[in-house]
Amino acid sequence: MRVPRGCRHPRIVLESNYHLIHTCHTYIAGPTMEQKTARLTILIDPGKKKAFEELCSSQDLTSSQVVRKLIRDYLQAHDVTYPGLAKPSQ
């Protein structure tokens, strides 16, 4: 597992036949950087996890970066606003 720069608390825990993924990243937030302090835990099939991590790695991305982008895109597609969302320029 590649650890993103600035990440102080990454961890992945394997339980039984499924991967229990814990992500916890602590970054110093700048003016345009999101605060990444919340944790999201998901259970996924081990084969999908491996394929996802390999694809991310081949694109020089971390799985966390891709998941964060998927979440942002999903929220945007459904016109959901949230704290920290950049205001569109007029």
The pLDDT tens digits for 30-50 are 445 678 888 899 999 999 999
For the record, the structure tokens of 30 come out as 């700048």
pLDDT confidence tier of residue 6, bands split at 50, 70 and 90: low
Contact 26, 4 (CB under 8 A): no
Tokens of 25: 């990243």
Q: What percent of the chain stands above pLDDT 70?
A: 60
- Whether this model's pTM surpasses 0.85: no
For residue 31, the 8-state DSSP code is S
pLDDT surpasses 80 at 25: no
